[in-house]
Amino acid sequence: MCERFQGKVVMITGAASGFGALAAARFAAEGARLALSDIAGDALEEVAQSLRSKGADVITEHVDVTKEASVAGHVARVSDGFGALDVAINNAGLGHRLAPLQQLSVDEFDTAMAVNARGVFLGMKFQIPVMQAAGQGVILNVASAAGLVGAGQLSAYAAAKHAVVGLTRAAADENARRGVRINALCPSFSATPLFDEMADQVGERTSTSREEAYDHIASRVPMGRVSEPGEVVQAMLWMCAPENSFMTGQAIAIDGGLTAI
């Protein structure tokens, strides 16, 4: 068993489902101590209990990534409780209904920006000083292929994910000489609960099943399929791994070739 993260403290937001929950399991399998957060408390605790039953060292907390006090308190409690913060994965995010830009409400835009962009900003705002003080650390921000190209019908989401890429590159530049590596991961369509919501919307519009909607969306990807979450999470581990020590300020697409066209 590879144990690249043996004893390392790994913080993951949005850990109750999707990429966050699977990443928690993969990091735990490689020896990490975990600080997991989400606004979905019951689901988060189920994830944590499953990992604890396998011997993982896990703490959990209800955190609203849009609230400065909530994020600041969580980072402080993790760094004080564990005595370190080695890896932070700012993964919490949400989508919105599929609609042209002019049909989105201001509230829909503001919510997408608050969770997907401000949540990453606040995470880094409080994670970076802890890592600077230690002289080392890795931050991985989960953006999206929609943060690299246009994403029709998802304008607010795309705007927020472009902001994540910009925040990542700026923070990486500021911290490259401080021992803190900061990168962004940009997955496209993947079989997660968030993608299920999108597929259901497509299905409602086209009067098709979720499976047929999956196939329709997958047809847009050069590889002809959506990714499995494990393919994305494997990239997460590689980007955070000690041997990947010379990568910073990058936005890496795991997208089946979607952004290549």
**pLDDT digits 0-9 by tens, 120-171:** 999 999 999 999 999 999 999 999 999 999 999 999 999 999 999 999 999 9
pLDDT of amino acid 1:
55
Residue 109 has pLDDT above 80, yes or no: yes
pLDDT of amino acid 28:
98
Q: Which two structure tokens, joined as six digits, stand for 41?
A: 């408390």
Active site residues: 157
| Confidence grade of residue 66 (pLDDT, cut at 50, 70, 90) | very high
- Edge-to-edge strands of the sheet including 9-13? 58-62, 33-38, 9-13, 87-90, 137-142, 180-187, 251-254
pLDDT of amino acid 218:
87
Distance, in Å, from the CA atom of 172 to the CA atom of 123, rounded to the nearest integer, reads: 14
Tell me the three state secondary structure of residue 234.
Answer: helix
Who wins on pLDDT, 13 or 200?
13
| Confidence grade of residue 173 (pLDDT, cut at 50, 70, 90) | very high
For 167, counting Cβ atoms within 10 Å of its Cβ (0-12 exposed, 13-18 middle, 19+ buried), the class is buried
Classified by CATH at the fold level, domain 9-188+228-252 comes out as Rossmann fold (3.40.50)
- Per-domain boundaries in the chain: 9-188+228-252, 189-226
pLDDT of amino acid 59:
98
| Confidence grade of residue 203 (pLDDT, cut at 50, 70, 90) | confident
Q: What Å distances lie between residue 107 and 104, 111, 119, 153, 158, CA to CA? A: 8, 6, 16, 16, 16
The string of DSSP codes covering 105-146 is: -HHHHHHHHIIIIIHHHHHHHHHHHHHHHHT-EEEEEE--GG
pLDDT of amino acid 202:
83
